Structure 1
Amino acid sequence: MRGNLLFLLLSSLFALSGKAQSRFSIIVKDSTTSEILPGANAKFPPAYPLVGTADIQGKIFLPKVLEGRYEVTISCIGYQEKKYNVEIPIDTLLTALLQPDQRLLEEITVAATRTNARIEDAPMKAEVLGLEEMDEENGIKPGNITSLLGDISGIQIQQSSAVSGNANVRIQGLGGEYTQILRDGLPLYEGFSGGFGILQVPPIDLKQIEIIKGSASTLYGGGAIGGIINLVSKEPSEKPEGLITLNQSSLTERNFNGYCSVKKNKRGASIFSGVTYQNAFDVNKDGFSDVPKIQNLIIHPRLLFYLDTKTTLAIGFSSTYETRRGGDMEALKNNRDSLHTFYQEDKTDRNTGDIVFTHTSSSRNLFTVKGSGSFFDRNLLTNKYRFYATQVNGYGEVSYLIPRAKNDLVMGVNVWTTSLEKNGKDSALMKDYTYQTIGTFIQTTYKPGEKLFLEAGLRTDYHSRYGLFVLPRLAGLYKFNEKWYSRAGIAMGYVTPNPFAEQNTEYHLNKIAPIPDSVKEERSLSSNLEVNYKKRIGKETFLYLNHAFFYTQINKPVIAATDSTGVTSFHNGKNYINSMGWDTYLRMSIEEWEIYFGYTYTMARQEYNAIQPYVTYTPRNRAAILASYEIKSKWRFGMEGSYTGFQYREDGTKTPDYIFVAAMIEKKFKHASIVLNGENLLDARQRNFLIPPVNNPAFQTLWGPIDGKVINLSLVLRF
């Protein structure tokens, strides 16, 4: 009996060893960006437990696989698993395309940290709104990204003009002048050229939005005391993509946006083009427009050259042409008389070219050269004055990233120049200026083990007017276990005085005085501490919780003051601004449900003002909840509610609190979707802000929405 068993066993082993074997090879890529995915895994079924891991080229190679038919599971951190039926032998190189898993958002790679680290491995806290959010927002608010940013805890979108509709982004209680907006890591929206910046960026043209709250000056120089927002452009994928969006709102806004991309062999191309038309609208019936007339055209083509598997060259150009007209409704209709005279017409032309070259060496070192040139014209015409000026910005950067198992090192040098030149003969007080900044930066991330990540960075900038700045930064990340981890950091920052920096309200541009030599730069010290918890329950439930404390102190802030003649001048405060508080958000995925809750408490004080010591128009309490339910490939339903607490005015009085409610429903088809969306369904708004006389009005600072309830219907076509 034993002999028979031994014979059968030996026979089986002999048959198995005699079975033919062949090689198996597959390359794994991101289905959206076509980026290779090093570290991806290929897993064969349990009956034949074979596992392979992708190299730095994204290729998985197994030299000896028994012939037969297998169901192979391809997986990668931050991506959805995908199963392939494979017949061995096979002579061709297979390609696996994985979709990003938005429920694992904290594992997405972030370019803004400069190390291309996953969020969960980066000592610097970063948040990402991914491609799924961009697609959803394209159907809800296709014109721009302001509503999308405003949903994030710790971020406040404040409208600064009732006439033009201009708005700025405030982070953690600090004014818009302390937020730096980047496009693909390039500083395109700053000072005078920052006007209307976020109002001219549609979501359909973006791959993701990266947000760093707190000082990022060590990485990106002056202007990033409050934080940075990096807008990352879409790139062509292996599969051609085409999108057309048509939108109509109850406030007569009409959007027509189109995007298409293609990639073939060693070349790729994409182009976005969008048109927005909006009639002037008087919501509160006071005779003045609450929504300006807008005519907007945007064109953004990009070319990508994949010179080899390790080298890429991207060239882009963007043009934005926009006209905004607001004021007295009779004047806008050309029914002007001695009483109805007030109007404001803003014409802006923004033309930007950019280039990015990257090369990855065989040892995974990344060499990057990037640069941009931007020309921004603004022609402001009112019934009282004209202001016409051009700002020219140039930026160039060279960086080198050395990623290693125990230590990442990135270093670089950048040159930035900006100049403002007035055009025409007008009465403006502002003088022409030109500034240059040369900076160097170095950052190292030490990884002694799988739990501890330590990071230190140093930047030195030399500004042609304000001199030398040395900005150190320290940060750390510790993973207690697979569910709990914590971050802490401290950094210094600076902002140079800028007469056109974003403010709570818009000043008369012709009466802005030049910055005197006595006004110095603002310097800051920021710190943060946070705790994170994440847990996956089965395959359909995911929970992520973040609780963060923040503190920022800005010494000798630059303060604007307007005298009785309307002239706005600037001086340094004798004391400081500090903003402190905490920011909590919870994200859950429960089967087809997506739930988000965020709450921010902010105590922001302007210690230089003994009479009114609180930073104006910063809510002490702000909370938001969003929920969506999807019937896959058929329907999607969404609800949003937010609470904004009181804000202090200049005179120390408090604004009312208010609740904002929105809802949407989307019907999905094979190549199209229809979205019905309602914003501000409770019609919460600031109703009275006009200061007479009618023929020479002024406007109160805005603390809430003024456009009221808005319904819009959009059609999205995919091909």
Structure 2
Amino acid sequence: MRKLLLWVVLLLSFSARAQHTLHLVVKDDQSKLPLTGVTAYIADLKKGGVSDTSGHIIIKNIPSGKYEIKLSMVGYLPADKTLAFPLKSLDETVEVYLEPMAGELAEVVIQTNRTGRNRSEIPTRIEALPPEELDEKGTMRPGDIKMLLGEITGVHIQATSAVSGLASFRIEGLDSRYTQLLQDGLPTYDGFSGGLGLVQVSPLNLKQVEIIKGSASTLYGGGAIAGLVNLISKTPGKKPELNFLLNQNTAKGTDASGFYSQQWHEVGTTIFGVYNYNGAYDPGSTGFSAIPKTNRFLLNPRIFWKPGSKDSLWFGVNILHEDRKGGDMQVLRGHPDNLHQYFEHNISDRLSSQFSYTHKLDSNSQFNFKNTVGYFNRKLSQPQFNFRGVQVSSYTEANYVRNGKVANWVAGADVWTDHLTPKDGSANLGYSRNTYGLFAQNTFKPAKWFAVESGLRLDGNSPSPATPSNGLFLLPRVNGLFRLNEHWTSRIGGGLGYKMPDIFNDDAEEQGYRYLQPLNIGATKAERSSGANWDVNYKGVVGDAFLQVNQLFFLTRVNDPLILQHNAFINAPGYLLSKGTETNMKLLMDELGIYLGYTYTDVQRHFNGLASAQTLTPKHQLNADMTYEIENSFRAGIEGFYTGAQLLGDGTTGRSYWTFGLLVQKMWKHFDIFINGENLTDQRQSRWGTIYTGPMSSPIFKDIYAPLDGAVINAGIRIKLLN
């Protein structure tokens, strides 16, 4: 009996000390393909492994018992798997499927740098708003992209009219003229048309928005000193799509849009149409419109053709008409008198074409050609003043792209023409400018942990500005990517930029081009810049959540900035210096997402040896957003925005303020319904004092630093007939 008990004890002891081996295969839940680089970890044993190119993970020396295995990979939702050892079969291979992460944390392919690589592989820091976020913002404000861009960390929306709703956007505290706004990589909104671009673009046909902060002049030329925003349009998918959106808000606004796309064997199409109406709206009873009376129609059809395996092209047309009138509410109702006379009336027509052609030379290289031609007719009327101009512009580019295992190349040439012709006896503010550019960019990745992207551009401008450039600009740029491990990465880089002198900026828009003197380009210096930025990024699993943190530091100097003085544009005797930081954090826990963003911006003018803060530039901005979403079923979110105090043009300081918003959206297969509230605490500059001085018949408006429209609630329905 004692021997039997001894054998039982020895057997149990041996069983407890038995060591087992775990064979895992990890695959993508959607494509069913194996995943490389997945981390598996058993916390109780402090053991783990990483999947190879076939998705296999082997963990040895596992004692008998039940253990939880945690699996994680950047771009995928974390997963847990509990297994009891020994397994039923000693040679059993356990399959695990990871679900790709949607939204902000998902890996996305970037188009702006021309190489078509994943964002995580690109040394240049590029932010991307994915379709899920664009869908959310589109239901909040379907009529324009002011809200879409204004909620990005480091971007500030600045009103350029107190009564017409016009606005511009500033990146890292620099004036809007230092930023390029592109549509599918083509410059569409510039010059005379730039003042209306932000309020005339609808977000409803966009599939992605890409943002570069800091100098981006290598590929996109002058004007990208502060950065660029590239609006990427939807293309035909595997399934046809037909949807309509109807929206109504409490600020007398109505929006209706339709989008159709379909891909046949070789030919595809997208057709996008929008109608926006807004009645004149004065929530603060100031007597002036916080939102102008607006009628806008937009039609954007595009054709896609793939005649063979090596060739693809698309052609699109953008047709827009807008009638926008703001000012004295009594004038807008059609009852002017001696006291009630003031108005701002913008009538604009836009007709532009876009063309893109790609020919694949082999599996690694391709030739690209693209072109856009734009016609923009704008009439701006105020009491006893009219300014009408026709802007005709074009952009043509040819480039060669080669993607190798270690190095990628982009090289090409472009031509940019821009002509403004004043009409109807308007002031002599016309101009003509041609720019010819050569560029090359190389991305070199000698090791997994390091990549560098360098570029060089040479531009020639006619007519040329004053010396020392004589119209020639050489623009180098370099950016480095350091991958410390699967969680930590860092980017550092910088470059040079320039901006040709012209009259189209925030100051001219605020003045309505009234009393402006013609600009002598030959006697005016181009604005020259140098800038650098550095960021550190962390991605990883924290408990049951996925965390992403990005910390950015930026610095830009602009020499000989153009300023408006006594109705004439001149080069200031000195420079602008913009510096600051951005902090972004996103936490994803199952259906719950939390986002926090903070921006510190310090922009100083150093003129005549004296330093002073730039006006209308808040030093502190904070964004906070919490969203609960069940995919394709339900979405609810709450957001808050803090804007710090700002120095105003009259030497006073505009107060800081908070705004809050709330969105609820329910989705079914063939329709969605949504309700959204913005600025629910009704923060309005008109509540804190008057917005103008002087008589009502000829008001002088103060700087607009806070909302004027107050609390606005909108609700609507999206009908999805094909999806």
CA deviation digits over 1:401-434, x for unaligned, max 9?
Answer: 11111111110100000000011224x242x221
Distance between the aligned counterparts of 2:261 and 2:213, measured in 1? 32
Shift of residue 366 of structure 1?
2.2
Aligned residues: 635
2:455 maps to 1:470? no
2:549 maps to 1:545? yes
Contact 2:664 2:675 in 1 (8 A): yes
**2:286 maps to what in 1?**
286
Contact 1:145 1:201 in 2 (8 A): yes
**1:450 maps to what in 2?**
448
Distance between the aligned counterparts of 2:435 and 2:52, measured in 1? 55
Structure 1 segment 377-396 matched on structure 2, within 5 A? 377-396=377-396
2:584 maps to 1:582? no
Structure 1 segment 70-219 matched on structure 2, within 5 A? 101-103=101-103, 105=105, 107-219=107-219
Aligned with 1:372: secondary structure?
strand
**2:534 maps to what in 1?**
529
The residue identity in structure 2 corresponding to 1:525 is S
The residue identity in structure 1 corresponding to 2:526 is E
**2:504 maps to what in 1?**
500
Distance between the aligned counterparts of 1:149 and 1:113, measured in 2? 20
Distance between the aligned counterparts of 1:138 and 1:520, measured in 2? 41
CA deviation digits over 1:95-149, x for unaligned, max 9?
Answer: xxx9974346462111112222211111110000011112112222111121111
**2:697 maps to what in 1?**
695
Aligned with 1:195: secondary structure?
helix
The residue identity in structure 2 corresponding to 1:199 is V
Greater CA deviation, 302-311 or 404-413? 302-311
2:336 maps to 1:370? no
**1:617 maps to what in 2?**
616
Shift of residue 286 of structure 1?
1.7
Distance between the aligned counterparts of 1:712 and 1:215, measured in 2? 37
2:350 maps to 1:355? no
Greater CA deviation, 302-311 or 607-616? 607-616
Shift of residue 383 of structure 1?
2.2
Distance between the aligned counterparts of 2:75 and 2:321, measured in 1? 38
Aligned with 2:511: secondary structure?
coil
Aligned with 2:618: secondary structure?
coil
**2:669 maps to what in 1?**
670
Distance between the aligned counterparts of 1:347 and 1:300, measured in 2? 19
CA deviation digits over 1:655-675, x for unaligned, max 9?
Answer: 100001101111222211111
Shift of residue 556 of structure 1?
0.7
Aligned with 2:399: secondary structure?
strand
**1:717 maps to what in 2?**
719
Q: What RMSD in Å do the two structures reach over aligned CA positions?
A: 2.5
Contact 1:612 1:650 in 2 (8 A): no
The residue identity in structure 2 corresponding to 1:450 is K
Distance between the aligned counterparts of 1:338 and 1:611, measured in 2? 45
Distance between the aligned counterparts of 1:685 and 1:578, measured in 2? 31
**1:324 maps to what in 2?**
324
Shift of residue 52 of structure 1?
7.6
Distance between the aligned counterparts of 2:172 and 2:268, measured in 1? 39
Distance between the aligned counterparts of 2:703 and 2:668, measured in 1? 44
Greater CA deviation, 665-674 or 386-395? 665-674
Distance between the aligned counterparts of 1:419 and 1:603, measured in 2? 35
CA deviation digits over 1:516-571, x for unaligned, max 9?
Answer: 23221000000001100001468x7321110010000000100112x3xxxx2111
Distance between the aligned counterparts of 1:653 and 1:328, measured in 2? 26
**2:421 maps to what in 1?**
421
**1:650 maps to what in 2?**
649
Shift of residue 514 of structure 1?
1.4
Structure 1 runs, 4 residues or longer, greater than 3 Å off: 39-43, 49-53, 76-81, 98-101, 103-106, 502-505, 609-612, 631-634
**2:69 maps to what in 1?**
none
Q: Percent of aligned positions with the same letter in both sequences?
A: 38
Contact 1:635 1:667 in 2 (8 A): yes
Aligned with 1:618: secondary structure?
coil
Shift of residue 342 of structure 1?
1.3
**1:20 maps to what in 2?**
none
Contact 1:690 1:698 in 2 (8 A): yes
Distance between the aligned counterparts of 2:301 and 2:100, measured in 1? 25
Distance between the aligned counterparts of 2:77 and 2:594, measured in 1? 20
Shift of residue 587 of structure 1?
1.1
Identify if the C-alpha distance between structure 1 residues 189 and 50 changes in structure 2 by more than 3 Å, giving closer, same or farther.
Answer: closer
**1:560 maps to what in 2?**
564
Shift of residue 348 of structure 1?
0.6
Aligned with 2:134: secondary structure?
helix
The residue identity in structure 2 corresponding to 1:291 is I
Aligned with 1:237: secondary structure?
coil
Shift of residue 294 of structure 1?
0.5
Distance between the aligned counterparts of 2:116 and 2:518, measured in 1? 40
Q: Which ranges in structure 1 are unaligned for 5 or more consecutive residues? A: 1-27, 32-36, 44-48, 54-75, 82-97
Distance between the aligned counterparts of 2:102 and 2:245, measured in 1? 23
Identify if the C-alpha distance between structure 1 residues 310 and 41 changes in structure 2 by more than 3 Å, giving closer, same or farther.
Answer: farther
Identify if the C-alpha distance between structure 1 residues 521 and 50 changes in structure 2 by more than 3 Å, giving closer, same or farther.
Answer: closer
The residue identity in structure 2 corresponding to 1:613 is S
Contact 1:534 1:543 in 2 (8 A): yes
2:491 to 487, 493, 504: 487
**1:604 maps to what in 2?**
603
Shift of residue 653 of structure 1?
2.5
Distance between the aligned counterparts of 1:77 and 1:352, measured in 2? 41
Distance between the aligned counterparts of 1:491 and 1:180, measured in 2? 16
CA deviation digits over 1:225-263, x for unaligned, max 9?
Answer: 011000001000010011111000000100001101001
Identify if the C-alpha distance between structure 1 residues 269 and 100 changes in structure 2 by more than 3 Å, giving closer, same or farther.
Answer: farther
Structure 1 segment 34-53 matched on structure 2, within 5 A? 41=34
Distance between the aligned counterparts of 1:52 and 1:357, measured in 2? 37
Contact 1:460 1:470 in 2 (8 A): yes
Shift of residue 446 of structure 1?
1.0
Contact 1:190 1:501 in 2 (8 A): no
Contact 2:280 2:289 in 1 (8 A): yes
Contact 1:504 1:701 in 2 (8 A): no
Distance between the aligned counterparts of 1:610 and 1:704, measured in 2? 32
**1:515 maps to what in 2?**
519
CA deviation digits over 1:172-193, x for unaligned, max 9?
Answer: 1111111110000001111212
Aligned with 1:703: secondary structure?
coil
Distance between the aligned counterparts of 2:424 and 2:300, measured in 1? 30
Structure 1 segment 7-86 matched on structure 2, within 5 A? 41=34
Shift of residue 649 of structure 1?
1.3
Contact 1:447 1:453 in 2 (8 A): yes
Distance between the aligned counterparts of 1:581 and 1:626, measured in 2? 22
CA deviation digits over 1:640-660, x for unaligned, max 9?
Answer: 001111111124332100001
Distance between the aligned counterparts of 1:586 and 1:595, measured in 2? 8
**1:661 maps to what in 2?**
660
Distance between the aligned counterparts of 1:617 and 1:510, measured in 2? 22
Shift of residue 328 of structure 1?
0.9
1:707 to 706, 709, 715: 709
Aligned with 1:219: secondary structure?
helix
**2:20 maps to what in 1?**
none
Aligned with 1:196: secondary structure?
helix
Alignment TM-score, normalising by the size of structure 2: 0.84
Identify if the C-alpha distance between structure 1 residues 652 and 343 changes in structure 2 by more than 3 Å, giving closer, same or farther.
Answer: closer
Distance between the aligned counterparts of 1:510 and 1:331, measured in 2? 20
The residue identity in structure 2 corresponding to 1:590 is M
